[in-house]
Structure 1
C-alpha cells in the first residue's frame, strides 16, 4: 500500500487479521486492566427497546445517563467526557442490571426501577425536580404546576418544564409522566411519539 507521498505503508490489520472471538478477548482484557489499574471512570453500552436503541452510561455511583438515538450517542459521550471524565470504555456487562430492568419495564413486568443513580449531571433546582419525579406512580401523571408545588416553588412552572426537558435519565426518572395542566403531553426528549408510547403502555390516567 502507498500513501499520498508514495511512501510504502504497512497494513497491520490486513497482515494480522483478528477474529471476532479474539477481538472480544482483547476487549475483555483491556476492560480488566483498566479496572484493575483504576483507569475506568465511566462505562457505557446500548440496548434495543420498543422505542429504538438507547444508550446507557454509568459511573461507580450508578446509572448516569439514558439517551435516545435522536440525541446522538457520540455527542452524549463527548459531553460526558468533558463534564465527568474522559476515561470512558464500553463495558456492557457492568450495565446488565440496568438493561435487565429496562427490559422488564418494557414487557410490563416492572413498574418501579431499583437502580443506583448518579445525579451528578444535574444540580440546583433541576436536580431537585428530577429527584421528585419518581414519586409519580406508574400509570399516573402530574402536571408541571403540581410538580412545582411539590418542590415548594409553585410559581416555577416553566423551570419545572426545563428540568424535565434536561432530565439525563429519561424513563428511569419518569419525566414522561409530567404533562400540561390541560392534559396534553407537551414536549419530551425522546419525542412526542415516545412519550405517547410510554404513557399508553403504562395505562396512564389522571
Structure 2
C-alpha cells in the first residue's frame, strides 16, 4: 500500500465517470475501492484525506467497468475489492450487512439493525447507512423505511428510485402459472 511520504497516511486516487445518476467520483487506495461520491455530495460525509487524480488506477478502471455494466443491466454482483478505510466498528458492521442484500431486493433499517445484533439501533443504522462511503456497490439504496417508502439517500431520492428501478428490471421475474 502506498503511503504519502510526508504524512505517512494512506494515499487515495480518484477519477470521475458519467452515469445515469449523475457524475460519480470513484476513490481508491491500493487496497481497493474506498468511495463512490455523488456529484453534489457533502464533503464531510466521507473523509479520506488527500486524494490525487489518477485516470488509470487499476481499481478505478475496474470499478468504472463494473458500474457501467451494472447501469446497462448486465451486472448483478460486483467483485471489485473494497477498502472501508473510514468508519467506526458499528458503521463497518452496517456496511457489511448492506453487501448481503441480494440484487433486486430491499431491507428495512429495522431488519439491518436486527441482522447485525442491535435490534434497538434502528436510527444508528440509518445514520451509518447515510455515511456509507461506497454507495451502489455497498447497496445502501436497497434500504427503505419500514413502511416501504424511500427514505434519505446521499445521492437523492431520485437516484435511489432509479437504482432500484434498474434492479427491478434486471431481476429474474417469477414464472406466471
* 1:63 maps to which of 27, 33, 51: 33
Alignment partner of 2:69: what SS?
A: helix
Equivalences, count: 163
RMSD (CA atoms): 2.2
Partner of 1:151: 116
Deviation at 1:38, TM superposition (A): 7.3
Residue 167, structure 1, aligned to residue 137, structure 2: no
Partner of residue 53, structure 2: 90
- In structure 2, the partner of 1:117 is 82
> Which residue does the alignment assign to 2:163?
198
| Aligned match for 1:50, one of 1, 20, 35 | 20
SS in 2 for 1:70: coil
Shift of 1:70: 1.1
Higher helix share: 1
Q: Which runs of 5+ in 2 are unaligned?
A: 172-177
Structure having the higher Rg: 1
Partner of 2:100: 135
| TM-score with structure 1 setting the length | 0.74
Higher relative contact order, chain-length normalized (CA < 8 Å, sep 6+)? 2
Question: Contact between 2:47 and 2:86, CA under 8 Å: does it hold in 1?
Answer: no
1:93 aligns to what SS in structure 2? coil
Q: Which runs of 4+ in 1 moved over 3 A?
A: 37-40
